Chain A
């Protein structure tokens, strides 16, 4: 049983610092690139846009959408991970480890195969349905009869379901000669984000985030134990169902935008809980900001390495962290 624990730091201060860091990272990320751009040009491009100025074009059509895309994906994956960890009481859960990402990728592969000109809204929906399917299979098999959501079983089932769905996506990609290479399905990249995608994705991500924040009290109570939550008059099945579906929407959209990126949803909530404690009204907003920050930084590093897949870079940071968590026995918080 998890007790509500106070964090090491003051929430307001931490949250403000995280936001400031995010803005600084955003500036650096927009500045960095092959085309050298001056800081003042950024503000000009935003507030006094001149379509004939090539630098303005680079900023507003390539770099800003890409960076905002990275932030949104980080927000979505981090929040999704925090919710799943809370609801399944599994400290090792992550959208990719429980089959959401590979499920979304599979449905996207099918969409590319049968409806190649699909608008982004359809792709987001396909991602969500896929995440739903993947997550449902994993949670059903991973849920052993005796002790609820056993972390070990969920990870195992997740690994097998991911292997299956990834193989199916690759099969579909080969059969229908999709021009996305095999790697698209296993390593993410945010380089191709467009304003059009952001217009569709941003509202869904932000609304899901707001709903989850508004349910954070229920999540905190649920985290204290199912019996206690029921005793306090909470509709446990409802809370679980809604928050899980929202986390699947978030993961599905993230995959539709950038492909599969693992470990963001694993690492960020752990770091955040360490900083500010286990109250979800604090954990969720801070997770969103730190998730965005992490992905933005990783994407900037990926660009410095000459367009390495950002998912691979995050795996490289994430796995040592994962091993550390396993070493501690996968305990929650």
Chain B
């Protein structure tokens, strides 16, 4: 387990580009919930926040790099959509955590069944 932590500390750049890090930030989660409803231009997204347009654009860029967003061009405007396939990965990542506890508890149950209270 320890080595995993060390590994993650050594690869900060890679982590930034993974989906889990992307959704750890509240602004980025808010952006995702906005574009989940409808495709939006960067300007329209930025209007929903008090942060500077540059900050929001940075967040969009990270989400884009993580493939949580994909873009389409409509004339001069770029529209951002939510990538539902990538969002499914986030659902999947919690499953090994659940399974770890499920395995432990199955074991607990099997062991304790041999005893009387």
The answer to whether A and B belong to the same complex is no
**Interface residues in chain B, defined as those with a beta carbon under 8 Å from any beta carbon in chain A:** none
Q: Please report A residues at the B interface, Cβ cutoff 8 Å.
A: none
